[in-house]
Amino acid sequence: MVAVTLVLGDITEQQVDAVVNAANSELLGGGGVDGAIHRRGGPAILAECRRLRDTEYPRGLPTGAAVATTAGELPARWVIHTVGPVWSARGDRAAQLAPLLASCYSESLRVAAGLGARTVAFPAVSTGVYRWPMDDAARIAIETVREYSADIDEARFVLFDSAAYDVFAERLAR
Ligand code: ADP
């Protein structure tokens, strides 16, 4: 069973085996979590991302997929890059995209378990630049992680502000 925990803080400071990056398909850095991870983790992460683009993912990492690199100078051992879907205000479209957001969590845990990681820290994928509403993102994140039964001890959601933390706490209590 995965223990689901919540922390108010910065994903780059987590002492866990693997931290998940809310990356974009290009894998070459960006803003938000992605920018913070590359800034704090140093150039080794980007170097591995470039190698992945040159080899396995010439067309980019697909939405809902996950891939691991070194964590460089971060306290973690690995960064698992995953690409969330961009929110659509059209209800039918959002329903089609929700499984891709769930896939970010299940694929990241699958990759983590494959590496032997026991503790994994997640940001609220897609809730920044990609605009997914926090409450729905929290529901999908918590449901997906709770259903996952592989060899992971702790899935930690790291929320950047108290509004996001409160939304996750409310969902977790259900
Ligand atoms: P996306 O492009 O998937 O929407 P973002 O990185 O823009 O990803 O944002 C995802 C969430 O992570 C947002 O809720 C944002 O407030 C939060 N966030 C931004 N920086 C950090 C950080 N250093 N640690 C944890 N969460 C962060």
Interval between CA 32 and ligand 1 midpoint (Å): 5
Residue nearest to atom 1 of ligand 1 (CA): 126
Residue 1 has pLDDT above 90, yes or no: no
Q: SS3 breakdown of the chain: % helix, strand, coil, rounded to 5?
A: 45, 20, 40
Mean pLDDT calculated for residue range 137-142: 98
Interatomic CA distance for residues 54 and 60, integer angstroms: 10
What is the C-alpha to C-alpha distance for residues 119 and 76, in angstroms, rounded to an integer? 10
* Residues near ligand 1 (Cβ within 6 A): 10-12, 22, 31-34, 36, 84, 123-130, 158, 160, 164
Q: Using one digit for the tens of pLDDT, what is the confidence trace for 38-86? A: 999 999 999 999 999 999 999 999 999 999 999 999 999 999 999 999 9
pLDDT digits (tens, 9 = 90+) for 86-124: 999 888 888 999 999 999 999 999 999 999 999 999 999
- Domains annotated on the chain, with CATH: 3-173 (3.40.220.10)
Active site residues: 34
Is the pLDDT at 16 greater than 90? The verdict is yes
Q: Residue 91: what pLDDT?
A: 83
Distance between Cα 149 and ligand 1 center (Å): 26
Q: pTM score, two decimals?
A: 0.97
CA of 125 to the centre of ligand 1 (A): 7
Mean pLDDT confidence for 149-158: 93
How large is the average pLDDT for residues 131-144? 97
Pocket test for ligand 1, best of 160, 161, 162, 168 (most atoms within 8 A of CB): 160
Ligand 1 mutation pick, 33, 88, 161, max ligand atoms within 8 A of CB: 33
Distance CA 89, CA 131 (A): 10
What is the DSSP-derived secondary structure letter of residue 115?
A: H
Ligand 1 atom with least separation from CA of 125: 3
**What pLDDT, on the 0 to 100 scale, is given for residue 21?**
98
pLDDT of residue 150: 81
Region 125-151 average pLDDT:
95
